[in-house]
A and B are shown apart, each in its own frame.
Chain A
């Protein structure tokens, strides 16, 4: 079966294309992380020195720099770290802003909303997120119960095409 697949030109072309697209994604991630790496160290140093203002700026820089859907979790994390720095500066406005931005990244937004509520003691404005508040938790349920296997999906598609 392997030999047959290897001799199939269409199959090999499709496989090469798939591998290239993975490679392209990885390159993008690597560059973005590399650029942010230096500022990660600067943030840590600033926080260690209790220079929270610089820490806040560094965290902002990183969160602003990293783009792309696959880095949403990383972006959310840096907005969270920005909120930590702002919190230590007792700058409630900046802290709230950073938490809202973190929540809007769509990763662990439920927890971010809770944190926002606790830190500000104010109800969360509805415009923070246009997504239903139960979107992330429903996604987690589907993940726990099991998505449809990709192999099954692919095979079903092939069967339909035959």
Chain B
């Protein structure tokens, strides 16, 4: 009896545990694995001014994440938090884009709370917000979808299965539109 590849379940399990962890290193690792679940090319940067994790997709589309998961529920995002995040697209364009002028780069802050310091309010434009809980729940749904894909398309060739695979990706929310819909649904700046 053939064995299920141990790497697959191990990766998903580690991702689930890490996305529950509020320690920034573990969280970044979890976020990186979640990006892989969508077929993104992931980058975990440590440079000054760089996003914590970047998901890059075909068509020069990039999602830059700034994880402030160590901040408590009562903490507010500060002006310096937002200024840091605002510089991320520039870093991504300089380091990861094929065409810096035409590439699409969006920034997402992950934090327990989307509350802002009064002084930070003018800097919130153009940044999106995502709660860690929402991201974790999403990761569980995505993991389940991947498990099903893995069973259904086992032993098949991409070229022959691509149409069916694409439909299943859409059904399970693994396509790029679904990623955009989830990550870019909540602007940080409230109207």
Q: Which residues of A contact B (CB under 8 A)?
A: 69-70, 72-73, 105-107, 110, 113-114, 117-118, 123-124, 130-142, 144-153, 155
Which residue of B153, B154, B158 is within 8 Å of A136 (Cβ)? Answer: B158
Instruction: Name 16 interchain pairs, CB-CB below 8 A, sorted by A.
Output: A69-B157, A114-B98, A131-B163, A131-B166, A132-B169, A132-B176, A132-B177, A135-B165, A136-B39, A137-B39, A139-B158, A142-B153, A145-B5, A150-B155, A151-B1, A152-B2
Given known contacts A110-B58, A152-B1, what 4 new A-B pairs fall within 8 Å (CB)? A117-B60, A123-B102, A133-B58, A145-B11
Bound Cα distance from A124 to B98, whole angstroms:
13
Q: B170 in the interface, Cβ–Cβ < 8 Å?
A: yes
Q: B181 in the interface, Cβ–Cβ < 8 Å?
A: no
- Asked if B58 contacts A142 (CB within 8 A), the reply is no
- Asked if B157 contacts A70 (CB within 8 A), the reply is yes
- Asked if A137 contacts B41 (CB within 8 A), the reply is yes
Residues of B within 8 A of A145 (CB): 5, 7-8, 11, 150
- Asked if A138 contacts B151 (CB within 8 A), the reply is no
Quick one: which of A135, A139, A142 has the most chain B CB within 10 A? Answer: A135
Which residue of A114, A118, A123, A148 is within 8 Å of B150 (Cβ)? Answer: A148
- Asked if A146 contacts B5 (CB within 8 A), the reply is yes
Bound Cα distance from A130 to B164, whole angstroms:
11
Residues of B within 8 A of A142 (CB): 8, 146, 149-150, 153
- Asked if A113 contacts B58 (CB within 8 A), the reply is yes
Residues of A within 8 A of B38 (CB): 134, 138
Residues of A within 8 A of B166 (CB): 130-132, 135
Q: B120 in the interface, Cβ–Cβ < 8 Å?
A: no
Bound Cα distance from A142 to B5, whole angstroms:
10
Q: Is the interface of A mostly helix, strand, loop or mixed?
A: helix
- Asked if A137 contacts B2 (CB within 8 A), the reply is no
Chain B, 156-184, CB within 8 A of any chain A CB: 157-160, 162-163, 165-166, 169-170, 174-177, 179
- Asked if B175 contacts A148 (CB within 8 A), the reply is no
Which residue of B98, B151, B160 is within 8 Å of A70 (Cβ)? Answer: B160
Q: B17 in the interface, Cβ–Cβ < 8 Å?
A: no
- A138-B58 contact given A106-B159, A149-B5, CB 8 Å threshold: no
Which residue of B4, B7, B176 is within 8 Å of A148 (Cβ)? Answer: B4
Residues of A within 8 A of B146 (CB): 142
CB-nearest residue of chain B to A110: B58
- Asked if B39 contacts A135 (CB within 8 A), the reply is yes
Q: Separation in Å of the A53 CB from the closest CB of chain B? A: 30
Q: B36 in the interface, Cβ–Cβ < 8 Å?
A: yes
Bound Cα distance from A116 to B165, whole angstroms:
24
- Asked if A149 contacts B3 (CB within 8 A), the reply is yes
Q: Separation in Å of the A145 CB from the closest CB of chain B? A: 4
- A131-B162 contact given A141-B36, A145-B8, A151-B1, CB 8 Å threshold: yes
Q: Separation in Å of the A134 CB from the closest CB of chain B? A: 4
- Asked if A106 contacts B58 (CB within 8 A), the reply is no
Q: B91 in the interface, Cβ–Cβ < 8 Å?
A: no
Q: B57 in the interface, Cβ–Cβ < 8 Å?
A: yes
- Asked if A147 contacts B58 (CB within 8 A), the reply is no
Q: Separation in Å of the A141 CB from the closest CB of chain B? A: 5
- Asked if A134 contacts B175 (CB within 8 A), the reply is yes
